[in-house]
Chain A
């Protein structure tokens, strides 16, 4: 069912984009499948933009609410009575018309899409006969699979079906793409996270943890999995930064480290 509803349609859209891109002159020298992954990622991110925008707005609303004096007063007043605190918080949400799950529900909806996108890329990059059989079974009749296969899996200096690394004479290859993934993930997480009014509260702690773990996690994926996936991560991160920028939600103070001090001073 998962394959039927998510992975197969995504694989076919990806291959359809590839079938168009591969006809563009000189594309074989750049790498048609790399371009197809980039276009497909942008397409998916555009399609899920309403969800992302809703998530960004909800996050901001929550952030503003948590910085309000009323919220802080409730926290202080019911500090020792957790049940009462929870009840008062819910009442406050209702009064302000804020859905406490408004920021995480869109994320949950997007999660299967991201997993499906990832699987579609991996499936299309079949690197063994057995994977080719699976790919063949995913392709709809309107695409002539036998003409598309094998995909041009070279993109710039990379083989998209293999982890990336540049050899410069060292005993090991430099994983440039994994570094780019880690850096863009760090930038995306940092720029999208407004500074917390209280550096010691739970949200701030979780944000700091995310800022550390997410780049490491995605960097590790890029290091060990097919570089086609790393291309998706980079484009997805850059698109996300652009999305936040377009909505005026980028917080450069977080990146420069000044935001925290500014807020701290204001306390």
Chain B
């Protein structure tokens, strides 16, 4: 058991580092404060992010800037229909050894980085997608019978374009579930756009400084796991997630009507982890219901699969999640302890 003051200092340092990193990213990225915060939350929670938005909103820039602010290796993969799994994870190449002989040597692919930008991940074939998603899940790749562990922190940011769906391979639900967050990037307001113009069309360029090392990121990830979670808060998280199940006992009427599949157990874990990061950023060493509500939409929106009726009526999973938040009584769960 660590000393209270030490732990309090760690929490304070976490919040400070998080804020520093955020500030660095925001030197380049304008107007997406919440998205930046959520991406960083996902980074420290140990998950991966799926960014969805129309072209030209700065998704790639966001990831690139984040990589600059962290002293980590960054790679970008532009997904295309002819991209092969080996192009991502690497392949065995025949090389001549110093003694003149021939041997196979593993040529590492771009996935062997700390931050991987999988641009337009839905434009490649499912086979290639599966290779990436396996690496995301296992944090390792196996080529030629040899398992290669990926270096930590390993953080994948996938982007996809919701329009121009012709010739794309939408990610199956099981694979989307591997992403901790799905973030939707919308259009900027006028004030933010003016700032973007100033920053990108002049000679001045923002200088991004490195604020965190991989070791520090790992330490911060470790602290996230130390955040205390009370039973009633866990019950609240579970109730929020199970309320998305259309056949569930506590599902609101709209969920029963419009939802085909609800959140998976992985979604609940993600909710808790993301909430923990949020708690630390707020200077707390305990998870609260408020943190869970904050993390609910990015964590569960891609895990709530609408049925035909929901799609036809233009219902969004965000709307349904709002209804769940309103329907679940947090205090009642504390009383029933």
A binds B: no
- Which residue numbers of A lie inside 8 Å of B, CB to CB? none
